Structure 1
């Protein structure tokens, strides 16, 4: 009888622990969505266009992103009069690179290991909101310090098993950093991206400063968002692979 009571007690602790953990996850997500402008307002976002700029090795680079929420995304990078395009058109992914970037100036299929990462970007909002929209398994891993401030560290695991650590401020409930492993040309590398300078655009919050690893190596590059347009008119044909 004592063994049965012990087993039941352990089982009860396990169930209660799961419920408390799940409740904590839901509470953090709810506060995050509220801080970002509200889930209902984000659900009304059908398309998005953003323009950002950064410098690398003395070159000024502009990035234009067009998205149809939940359907397609196209990212155009302009440098020295040349344009590189990366696109998920709703069913497949393709890219177009100029010769100076190692390409052929013609559309080509995107490497398979990069398709999932690009496809996940068709959902607007933060990394946590995208993970929720994709149906990823989200758990609270810990509460720790990030640059002296308290943050919740959440783990989001997609259906393929790829895991992303999401650092959420315990005071503002904005996402401050993400950390994930990417497979680039057969090599696995850990990528950390930091988000700051949040501003309101028609009631929705966006980070206007993004720090990410430099593709040239040797530190980070700082991306500054210069323009965000909500619900611009974009046709699905805009994302079609050129022939």
Structure 2
């Protein structure tokens, strides 16, 4: 769920370094027990299994963009379809993945570019994502192996560090708060301008959305970086109707089949979504 939006912005991020500790005495939970508590804290397995589509609307703040509070809309559909739209200087940047192939449209000086296919690295990352519910829920059915790797301090609180091995062979890490059992941090490898880097993503401001706990603030960047990229969610809609054409190759400028055109959630999306329209 929360990993997709930040992956869309990963090109502007740099390496993160983590300090780790041994698991404190008395914290003898197994990886399976931590995952079980995490799922319960997030709203429960049955509740998440009922979610087939999800739409986020909000804004992005980044030192790497020309203005603050750029509006975005993110549409997710099982099993692994995503569409991310962000308005930049009255033009829309679009990234779409239909579960097998991906395309991107970037704003240009002439008003809009043609849809370009994902690179091989982008395709690998998109295939590795688990949209809607993330890596831990139903991880065995997804072929994801989870082991307890230790415990770290995350913003002053103990958090279990789980090593998560994906079917592709890639290993990532998820940090679960030792008190709330909600996800508080996540890392992934990315290709930077000078080679591979590790991206750190933090989750906070959890809110109840129809019984599910969803983070409404997501920050990413290097651990020692001054300013982080920040994604703020203003509205989450669960199970809105999303036609598969929304995840097809976008037309020139990315205006057609947009979230604002085709997604009609109930209740309707707030005015923030209309700002993504031409």
| TM-score normalised over the length of structure 1 | 0.81
SS in 2 for 1:59: coil
Q: Find the structure with the greater CA-based Rg.
A: 1
More strand by share: 1
- What do you get for the CA RMSD once the two structures are aligned? 2.4
Question: Are 2:54 and 1:48 aligned?
Answer: yes
Equivalenced residue count is 218
Match of 2:150 in 1: 142
Match of 1:219 in 2: 227
Going from structure 1 to structure 2, the CA distance change for 1:175 and 1:140 (only over 3 Å counts) comes to same
Runs (5+) with no aligned partner, structure 1: 1-22
Moved more, 231-240 or 59-68: 59-68
SS in 1 for 2:94: strand
Query: Which runs of structure 2 are paired with 1:6-45 in the superposition (5 Å)?
Result: 24-45=30-51
Match of 2:82 in 1: 73
SS in 2 for 1:73: strand
SS in 2 for 1:134: coil
Question: Are 2:91 and 1:85 aligned?
Answer: no
User: In the alignment, is the contact (CA less than 8 A) between 1:59 and 1:79 conserved in 2?
Assistant: no
Going from structure 1 to structure 2, the CA distance change for 1:124 and 1:55 (only over 3 Å counts) comes to same
User: In the alignment, is the contact (CA less than 8 A) between 2:150 and 2:161 conserved in 1?
Assistant: yes
Cα deviation digits, residues 33-81 of structure 1 (max 9, x gap): 0000000010000100001212335433122111112141111111111
| TM-score normalised over the length of structure 2 | 0.72
Match of 1:182 in 2: 190
More helix by share: 1
Match of 1:235 in 2: 243
Give the 4+ runs in structure 1 shifted more than 4 A: 130-133
Match of 2:210 in 1: 202
Match of 2:163 in 1: 155
Highest RCO, 1 vs 2 (Cα 8 Å, sep ≥ 6): 2
Going from structure 1 to structure 2, the CA distance change for 1:115 and 1:141 (only over 3 Å counts) comes to same
Return the alpha-carbon distance in structure 1 between the equivalents of residues 159 and 140 of structure 2.
19
Query: Which runs of structure 2 are paired with 1:73-152 in the superposition (5 Å)?
Result: 73-100=82-109, 105-129=113-137, 134-152=142-160
Cα deviation digits, residues 121-179 of structure 1 (max 9, x gap): 45212443385563222110012322221111001111232221111011110010012
User: In the alignment, is the contact (CA less than 8 A) between 1:73 and 1:121 conserved in 2?
Assistant: no
Return the alpha-carbon distance in structure 2 between the equivalents of residues 239 and 194 of structure 1.
27
User: In the alignment, is the contact (CA less than 8 A) between 2:95 and 2:104 conserved in 1?
Assistant: yes
Cα deviation digits, residues 63-104 of structure 1 (max 9, x gap): 211111214111111111111111111321111112259x96
